Structures are given as structure tokens and as C-alpha cells.
């Protein structure tokens, strides 16, 4: 009889289906959408290699690189975030996005490569005199 | 019933012209009622019609040989049989009919089920064959109760004419028969808890697995027409007799609608049963109904 009571309540309680554009709350287990900070990115492309869903694309150019992210393909696994040493990628717990055409949500960032940090110049120090080489005053004997 | 009347009943009312919109309406009522009871929104009113039109516009996979021909033939045969069954229903008072039309109705009601069995085996799909085997076992199980219920009512009145049965005064045997038919309808219409021949999650809709496009549209239509015919049969037996045609038609439609709602409640309140449980259930039903029918017949004889 419990099932009939439940059906009766459902019948008069309205539907639980959320109509678009309302979105459901995200669950605690959901890691969230990937956010990219171009200022911090070093262009190492480790995120692209770690992305098994192929949501991240990386194109290297002369003096710059293009980083693209397609949330429609992303599985929100967080492997790119784990791999980013420069902390340029993070995750925010927004709802998974809605899209009607493939690639609609894709975002590209073209970032200028930072000039490499100047290499530290090696400090030349005078070699200490060897005790074996002893000069003898007076010349040859 | 002359040829013109028969054609008018088959093609216009309560045949194809009435029955096809009624089939879509009943399919919508069932889907909507189940959705509302499960806390969902459910399909819009025109959805069964849209589904039908969309399927008609799709292409079917090329099929060659006798098996291909048979696969195209089964849905058409099922639609024709179900439409014929609806056409035989005595919706209006003094609508004609002939002696033995109940037997024809029972045969036509059974034909779509036979077509489904044959279609599953013709498709040579493992899921289709499993579905067909299940449908065959189910058909053997529920038909014993179904036929016993109808034949006992008809035999008690010494007639196999539908119109005569529609005008019967209420009797314990008639009520018992209607209840027994109601028990069989979920199996006949492949609803929960007896939806195992077309189990979507287990065998991908069973005999329908290999069907697409207009052929699948015909199967959907035959399913809707089966709804109209089966609920109409209950309405024929359960509706009180009215002489005014509009009141008779209204009561007929109201009872059919009530049966659809009842079946929807059962479908949403239950889960799919296993085949052995289903068979056991129907054979136990048969036993109980046989005992009750004989007791009721004896009671009626002593009373009269």
C-alpha cells in the first residue's frame, strides 16, 4: 500500500522535472568546470597530455601558444588540474554546461610565451695555488 | 450486417477513422498517467501522433528474401487485425453484429500477439527470439483465464453475439468475468508487471529490436489499437444498456478511459515479474477463476 500512497502524493505533488533553463544543484562528488588562467600558464601542455577526454587542445606557435577547452567534451575528472604545476588550471563547481551544437562552448586562449628567465651567469673564481707547484727563487739549480 | 454496414464499421466508426485517434489518445493517457504518478512531466498531448509521423518518415534497413517480406507483413497484419477487432465492438446500441462475432473478436484480438511472436522469430535477432519465446509462454498462460472468462459469460447466456452480451443485466458471473479479463489485460498489452516480452532494459524491446521506421510505426499503431479493442471489450461487458446512442457512446468511452487509468496505476505501482512467476500467477488465477465460475454458474442455476 505504501507504493499507492507514494503514487497518490506524486500525482498531486507536481513533477520534479526541472524545466529549462533551471538547473539542478551540483552534488558534492562533482569536481566542477575547468577554469583557465592565461597569466599563470607556462605553456608546458601537460594538461593536454593528461586529458583523456580530449577536451583540451594545445597548439604551439612562434612566440605564442593557443590553449582551447571544450566543456562539452570534458568529463570533469580533474587530471589536468592535478598535473598543472603552475596552478593555471582550477575547477569551479558550476553546473555542467548546456549546449545545442558540438563545439559551441569551446573557448580558446592565445597566450604569448613568456621570455625564458635569464640564466644565472657562472661566477669565475681564482683557483688556489697548488702546493705541488712550488716556485723556487733563484731559478734552476 | 450487410457489406456496407460492415465496411462503415471497419473504416469509420468504431473502426479506423475513430480507432486511430482513440489509439493515440489512449497511448498518451497511459504514458501521461504513469509519468504523473512517477513525478515526471510526461509527454505532450500530440506526442504519440508525432512519434507515428516521425517514424513514417524514416527509412527501414534493406531486407531481402522471404524473411524480409514476412518482417514487413507482420506489422500490417497486426494493424489490420486490431482495427478489425475494434470495428466489431458494439459501441452504439443496435449496431448490428452477427452470431459468433465474439469468436471472431477473440481471434482478431489474439492475432497481433501471434504476429509479434512470428516477427521476433523472423528477425533472427537473439533478443527478438527471446522476446518472442516469452510472448508465446505469456500468451499460453494468460489466454486460459482470458478465454475462460469470456466463454463462461457467453455460454451462460447461450449466445456468442457481442450485442447480446452487451445488453446483459449484471450477474455475479459477469462481474467475475470482467475482473478476470482485467487481470489479463496487463499481459495482453505488455504492461508492468507482465511486460517481460518487450523488456527494454533486458532484451531491448524483444521482438521489436530489429524494427525501425514505418514498420515500427505500424507496430505502435497496432499496440494502440489493441488498447482500444481490449478496453472496449471490458466496456462492452461492463457498461449498462442505454437506448440513446450518445449516452451509450459516452459511457463506453468513459469506462474505456477508466480501464486505461486503472492499468496505468498498476503499471506504475509494480515492477516487472520473471517469466516463471508470471506463468505461476496466471495458472493460479485460472484455477481460482474456474472454481468461482463453476460456483457462480451453479448459484445462478439454483436461483433461476
Residue B18 forms part of a structural domain:
yes
Asked if A13 and B39 come within 8 Å (Cβ–Cβ), the reply is yes
Nearest CB to A7; choose among B40, B42, B265:
B265
User: What domains appear along chain A, each with residue ranges and CATH number?
Assistant: 29-112 (3.30.70.3270)
* Residue B254 belongs to domain spanning: 3-299
Residue B304 forms part of a structural domain:
no
Asked if B38 and A10 come within 8 Å (Cβ–Cβ), the reply is yes
Q: Which of B123, B8, B113, B135 is nearest to B69 (CA)?
A: B123
Nearest CB to B37; choose among A11, A14, A17:
A11
CA distances, B188 to each of A61, B113, B160, B199, B233 (Å): 67, 8, 22, 14, 13
More confidently predicted of B188 and A140? B188
A135 contacts chain B (CB < 8 A): no
Phi, psi of B19 (to 5 degrees): -70, -35
* pLDDT score, position B93: 64
Q: Which residues 7-26 of A have a C-beta within 8 angstroms of B? A: 7, 10-11, 13-17, 19
Task: Give how far the C-alpha of residue A14 lies from the chain's centroid of Cα atoms, to the nearest Å.
Answer: 42
- Chain A / chain B CB contacts < 8 angstroms: 28
**Residue B30: all three cell numbers together:** 497511459
Asked if B39 and A10 come within 8 Å (Cβ–Cβ), the reply is yes
Phi, psi of A138 (to 5 degrees): 110, -10
Helix (H, G, I), strand (E, B) or coil at A65: strand
List CB contacts (< 8 A) between B264 and chain A: none
* A59: pLDDT strictly greater than 70: yes
Report yes or no for ipTM above 0.85: no
Residue B17 forms part of a structural domain:
yes
Nearest CB to A4; choose among B36, B41, B269:
B269
Residue B10 forms part of a structural domain:
yes
Q: Is the CB of residue B118 less than 8 Å from the CB of residue B66?
A: no
Which of A80-84, A113-117, B106-110 is least confident?
A113-117
Nearest CA in chain B to A9: B37
**Residue B259: all three cell numbers together:** 480501464
Nearest CA in chain B to A3: B269
List CB contacts (< 8 A) between A19 and chain B: 41
* pLDDT score, position A136: 43
Q: Is the CB of residue B29 less than 8 Å from the CB of residue B257?
A: yes
pLDDT digit string (tens) for chain B, length 304 residues: 678 877 877 777 777 888 899 999 999 999 999 999 988 999 999 999 999 999 999 988 888 888 889 999 999 999 999 998 988 888 776 666 788 888 999 999 999 999 999 999 998 889 999 999 999 999 999 998 898 888 888 887 788 888 888 877 777 788 888 898 999 999 999 988 998 888 888 888 889 888 999 999 999 999 999 999 999 899 888 888 777 878 888 888 899 999 999 999 999 999 898 888 999 998 888 888 888 877 877 777 777 6
Confidence of residue A15 (pLDDT cuts 50, 70, 90): confident
Asked if A16 and B40 come within 8 Å (Cβ–Cβ), the reply is yes
Which residues are CB-contacts of B182 (< 8 A; sequence separation ≥ 6)?
B234, B259, B262
Nearest CB to B36; choose among A3, A4, A11:
A11
Residue B143 forms part of a structural domain:
yes
* pLDDT score, position B252: 85
Distance from CA of A85 to the nearest CA of B (A): 45
Residue B166 forms part of a structural domain:
yes
Nearest CB to A15; choose among B39, B265, B269:
B39
Burial class (CB in 10 A: 0-12, 13-18, 19+), B72: middle
* pLDDT score, position A137: 47
Confidence of residue A141 (pLDDT cuts 50, 70, 90): very low
* A134: pLDDT strictly greater than 60: no
How many domains does chain B contain in total?
1
Phi, psi of A33 (to 5 degrees): -70, 150
Residue B146 forms part of a structural domain:
yes
- For chain B, list residues whose CB is within 8 angstroms of any CB belonging to chain A: 35-42, 265, 268-269
More confidently predicted of B255 and A133? B255
Residue B279 forms part of a structural domain:
yes
**Residue B175: all three cell numbers together:** 462481474
* pLDDT score, position B116: 94
Which of A16-20, A72-76, B52-56, B127-131 is least confident?
A16-20
* pLDDT score, position A138: 44
d(CA B233, CA B86): 9
More confidently predicted of A135 and B197? B197
Amino acid at each position: 500500500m505504501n507504493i499507492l500512497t507514494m503514487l497518490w502524493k506524486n500525482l498531486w505533488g507536481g513533477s520534479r522535472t526541472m524545466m529549462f533553463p533551471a538547473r539542478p544543484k551540483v552534488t558534492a562528488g562533482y569536481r566542477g568546470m575547468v577554469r583557465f588562467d592565461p597569466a599563470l600558464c607556462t605553456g608546458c601542455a601537460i594538461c593536454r597530455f593528461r586529458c583523456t577526454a580530449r577536451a583540451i587542445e594545445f597548439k604551439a606557435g612562434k612566440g605564442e601558444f593557443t590553449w582551447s577547452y571544450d566543456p562539452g567534451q570534458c568529463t570533469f575528472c580533474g587530471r589536468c588540474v592535478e598535473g598543472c604545476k603552475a596552478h593555471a588550471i582550477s575547477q569551479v563547481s558550476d553546473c555542467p554546461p548546456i549546449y545545442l551544437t558540438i563545439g559551441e562552448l569551446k573557448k580558446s586562449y592565445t597566450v604569448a610565451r613568456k621570455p625564458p628567465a635569464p640564466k644565472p651567469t657562472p661566477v669565475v673564481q681564482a683557483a688556489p695555488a697548488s702546493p705541488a707547484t712550488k716556485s723556487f727563487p733563484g731559478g734552476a739549480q | 450486417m450487410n457489406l456496407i454496414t460492415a465496411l462503415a464499421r471497419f473504416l469509420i466508426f468504431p473502426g479506423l477513422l475513430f480507432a486511430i485517434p482513440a489509439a493515440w489518445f489512449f497511448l498518451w493517457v497511459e504514458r501521461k498517467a504513469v509519468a504523473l504518478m512517477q513525478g515526471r512531466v510526461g509527454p505532450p498531448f500530440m506526442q504519440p501522433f508525432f512519434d507515428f509521423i516521425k517514424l513514417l518518415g524514416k527509412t527501414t534497413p534493406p531486407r531481402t528474401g522471404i524473411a524480409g517480406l514476412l518482417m514487413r507483413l507482420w506489422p500490417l497484419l497486426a494493424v489490420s487485425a486490431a482495427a478489425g477487432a475494434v470495428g466489431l465492438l458494439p459501441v452504439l446500441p443496435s449496431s448490428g453484429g452477427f452470431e459468433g462475432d465474439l469468436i471472431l473478436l477473440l481471434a482478431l484480438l489474439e492475432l497481433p500477439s501471434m504476429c509479434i511472436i512470428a516477427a521476433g522469430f523472423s528477425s533472427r535477432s537473439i533478443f527478438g527470439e527471446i522476446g518472442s519465446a516469452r510472448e508465446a509462454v505469456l500468451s499460453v498462460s494468460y489466454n486460459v483465464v482470458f478465454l475462460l472468462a469470456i466463454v463462461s459469460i457467453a455460454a451462460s447466456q447461450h449466445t456468442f453475439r457481442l450485442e447480446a452480451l452487451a445488453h446483459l443485466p449484471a450477474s455475479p458471473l459477469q462481474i467475475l468475468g470482467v475482473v478476470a479479463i482485467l487481470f489479463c489485460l496487463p499481459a495482453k498489452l505488455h504492461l508492468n508487471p507482465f511486460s517481460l516480452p518487450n523488456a527494454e532494459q533486458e532484451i531491448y524491446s524483444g521482438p521489436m529490436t530489429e524494427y525501425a521506421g514505418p514498420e515500427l510505426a505500424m507496430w505502435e499503431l497496432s499496440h494502440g489499437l489493441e488498447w482500444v479493442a481490449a478496453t472496449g471489450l471490458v466496456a462492452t461487458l461492463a457498461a449498462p444498456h442505454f437506448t440513446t446512442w450518445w449516452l451509450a457512446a459516452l459511457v463506453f468511452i468513459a469506462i474505456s478511459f477508466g480501464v486505461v487509468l486503472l492499468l496505468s496505476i498498476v503499471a506504475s505501482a509494480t515492477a516487472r515479474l520473471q517469466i516463471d512467476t508470471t506463468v505461476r500467477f496466471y495458472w493460479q488465477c485460472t484455477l481460482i477463476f474456474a472454481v468461482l465460475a463453476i460456483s457462480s454458474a451453479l448459484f445462478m442455476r439454483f436461483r433461476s
